[in-house]
Structure 1
C-alpha cells in the first residue's frame, strides 16, 4: 500500500456567505465558538489573551475546548498564517498544519481545508487521516449551516457520547 497518499487530505464546501464573514468565522475566537468550539482562547506572542472579536495573528497560540467534553480535553496549537482576508493556517492534532483558503469559484464562495504532514503508519492513518477527515466533514457542514442561517448541529451535552455531532 502506498501510505504517502494518506499524508494529507483536502475537503471543500460551498457556502452562501461573504468571504469576509467566513474568514471571521475561522479567524476570531467568537467566530470559532459560533460553529466549532465550546470555548476558544487565543494569546498573542506576549501571552496576552485576545479579545473574542479580534482577528487572530500569526504566532498566536490557542487552547480549544470541545462541546460534549470536559475541560480536561483541550487542544493546543498555534496560528501559522492569518492574512486577514482569505487564508488561515493553524496547527492541529500532532502539530499537523491545517490550511484554510476561501475563494470564489463559478460564482460560489468555497472553503477549502487541507490537513497535511499526517503520519502514515497504520495506527495514525486510521486515527488521523480517517478520524480527522471525518470530523472536518461534519464541522464544515456545521459551518455552512450556521453561516447560511441554519441550525447549529453540534452536540453540547457532555453526558451524551459516541455521537457523530460531538
Structure 2
C-alpha cells in the first residue's frame, strides 16, 4: 500500500513473545478469548473445534465480545498453523502475519476489501482501525506484562456511542 485508502488499512506492533504463543492467541478459541473475545466458536463441517485446537482454512466462526450484545460470524480463509491466518470480518477480510525480528515478533494486521460507501468508511475503516489499535496494544500488554486493558467490570452496552467513545471497549 503506497497511499492511504478507505478500502484497507494496516496496523503493526512489535511484541516480545514467542511466535508460537502469538499464533495460539489468534489461531485457537482458547487463545483468542484470553485477550480479545468473550466467546469464540470454530466449527469444521458442523463439528465444534476443541478450545486449544488450531483453526484451519474452511472453518466457520462465531465471535462474541465483552460489552457488545451482537456477534460476528465468518469464515477462516487461511491458517497455516505458524505465522499467517486470514478471516472474513464485517464484509471485509482481516489477515494476521507474524514475522520474527531479533527479540520480538512483528505482528502485521491488515484489514482489506472494505466497501467504500460512507457507512463502511465510518463503521469499518474508522471503527475497526481504531478498534484494532486498542486490541493490538491489549495483546501486547497481555503477553508482555500479564494484564488486560479491555473493560470487563463495567457494562458499557447501554451507553450511547460507547463503541466509538470508550478506548477500552
Same fold (TM over 0.5): yes
Counterpart among 114, 117, 127 of residue 113 in structure 2: 117
* Corresponding position: 1:131 with 2:134: no
- Aligned partner of 1:88 in structure 2 is 85
- Aligned partner of 2:58 in structure 1 is 59
Q: 1:149: Cα distance to partner?
A: 2.8
Residue aligned with 2:100, SS? strand
Q: 1:108: Cα distance to partner?
A: 2.8
TM-score, structure 1 as length reference: 0.91
In structure 1, distance between residues paired with 2:115 and 2:154: 29
Higher relative contact order (Cα pairs below 8 Å, separated by 6+ residues): 1
Q: 1:122: Cα distance to partner?
A: 2.3
Could you say what the CA RMSD is over the residues aligned between the two structures, in angstroms?
A: 1.6
TM-score, structure 2 as length reference: 0.89
- Aligned partner of 1:34 in structure 2 is 34
Q: Which runs of 4+ in 1 moved over 3 A?
A: none
Matches within 5 A, 1:1-166: 5-44=5-44, 46-70=45-69, 73-94=70-91, 96-105=92-101, 107-157=103-153, 159-160=155-156, 161=159, 162=162, 163-166=166-169
Tell me the number of residue pairs that the alignment of Structure 1 and Structure 2 aligns: 160
**CA displacement 1:37-89 (0-9 Å, x = unmatched):** 00001101x1001100000110010110110123xx11001111000100011
Structure 1: which 5+ residue stretches go unaligned? Answer: none
In structure 2, distance between residues paired with 1:127 and 1:56: 27
In structure 1, distance between residues paired with 2:146 and 2:154: 23
1:68 and 1:157 in contact (8 A); partners too:
no
Structure 2: which 5+ residue stretches go unaligned? Answer: none
Q: 1:106: Cα distance to partner?
A: 5.0
